[in-house]
Amino acid sequence: MEVIRNIAELRAWRRQAGKVAFVPTMGNLHEGHLALVKEARQRADKVVVSIFVNRLQFGQGEDFDAYPRTFDADSAKLRDAGVDVLFFPIEQELYPRIRQDFNVEPPHIQNELCGAFRPGHFRGVATVVTKLFNIVQPDLACFGKKDYQQLHVIKAMVDDLNQPVEVVPVDTGRAEDGLALSSRNGYLSAEERAEAPRLYRHLAAIRDRLLAGEQDYASLEAAARQDLEAHGWRVDYVEVRQADTLEIAHAGEKRLVVLAAARLGKTRLIDNVEVLR
């Protein structure tokens, strides 16, 4: 595996690389990331993974400096997974003027769901992903469905801006007890880790009720929120939305997604399940 730290060198490599698949990450890698790499390897001649902790997507109260930097462990995992290039730029390489005067501004959905609790987050995601697409020039890029709103924003951005990249969604990786794999799981205490699968159980239960014909979305959302809060969670949202647009869902729609975000102790967990009838 080649480690490249500057844009010019990566672009020179890209010109000789054939079909390229790309997996952008912020590091602190787990099996969910490696599942993205596996999917990428099946679809292209070469695989590029980036590790870049993007300051723009950290909001007020979110500690950019405290985000785990685990380069040695990450690079070993990527080497074992057969990655061809690890793009690992310093911050000044992507943001040479420090500030970013031009940004990619997503539509109103950036201020809903997770965006309502993380102002500016999806602007930061859309901007850095656009920059990375411009640098790597991949034929396709793999993103996990766990970050469902992020996936929606990126897919819509690629379509609207005519970016020549195929966005490949990859199913959420889960532990045996259903907990979605996430870098944030490492922040959970042993007691919190035992409690954490409750979030997925509620989403799965709502999915089953919807598939059985239940159409009172508000009651399903409220019941899940009430039980989570009774067990010590601080719930940001539990919502049923349209799967393709993330707009408010209405009774009788066939393609839905149930999304949730909640804090357990100091750790904010997100998850979702699709309901495709």
- Whether residue 189 is annotated as binding a ligand: the answer is no
Closest C-alpha among 168, 186, 185 to residue 38: 168
Token pair belonging to 66: 């405290």
- Whether residue 120 is annotated as binding a ligand: the answer is no
**Which stretches of the chain are DSSP H helices?**
7-14, 31-43, 71-80, 91-94, 114-117, 121-136, 148-160, 190-195, 198-211, 217-230
- Whether residue 150 is annotated as binding a ligand: the answer is yes
- Whether residue 18 is annotated as binding a ligand: the answer is no
2-4 β-sheet, strand order: 2-4, 85-87, 46-51, 20-25, 140-144, 166-170
Q: Reply yes or no on whether 108 is catalytic.
A: no
Candidates 33, 121, 152, 202; catalytic one? 33
- Whether residue 27 is annotated as binding a ligand: the answer is yes
- Whether residue 139 is annotated as binding a ligand: the answer is no
- Whether residue 32 is annotated as binding a ligand: the answer is yes
- Whether residue 252 is annotated as binding a ligand: the answer is no
- Whether residue 181 is annotated as binding a ligand: the answer is yes
CA angle centred on 126, ends 108 and 122, rounded to 5° = 50
- Whether residue 211 is annotated as binding a ligand: the answer is no
Q: Which long-range contacts (CB under 8 A, 24 or more apart) does 11-16 make?
A: 11/135, 11/137, 13/85, 14/136, 14/137
Binding-site positions for (R)-pantoate read: 57, 150
Binding-site positions for beta-alanine read: 57
Binding-site positions read: 26-33, 57, 144-147, 150, 173, 181-184
Binding-site positions for ATP read: 26-33, 144-147, 173, 181-184
Active site residues: 33
